Amino acid sequence: MSKDLAVRILLFVVMSGSGALLLWTARAAASGRLRRNQYAGIRVPSTMASEEAWLAAHVRARRPTMCAGYSSLGSAMLAVLPVSVPVLVVGVLLGCFAMLGFVLYGARVGSRAAAEVSKRPG
């Protein structure tokens, strides 16, 4: 197996796996199937305060988190296209930055939504 092919396979597996995991997490957490836990989801003090805060955060963060997953999957597709290695590397790096940006934005809006729930009298 050539070095180029090995790099492409590795990038495809890592990026498609992370994209699929982000999409699953976004859907499961926003639907309530993924309960508060220590491993997946937006785990900051405001979201961990209650199940209601956890759900509110993930409902609000669903769209940006799904965009992060699609960014990752788009980067994975570059690995199967006949592009040069430098183009592949730049494309995957851009996809990683987009993925990180969407995840951080989702965490920000989600934690704000959770804080709003926690501030409600009740």
Per-10-residue mean pLDDT for the chain, 122 residues long?
A: 90 97 97 94 94 97 98 95 91 96 98 91 66
Number of domains in the chain: 1
Question: Which parts of the chain fold into alpha helices (H)?
Answer: 3-31, 45-48, 51-78, 85-119
Q: What is the pTM assigned to this prediction?
A: 0.90
Q: Is 120 helix (H, G, I), strand (E, B) or coil?
A: coil
pLDDT at 10: 94
pLDDT at 122: 59
The residue range of the domain holding 42 is 3-119
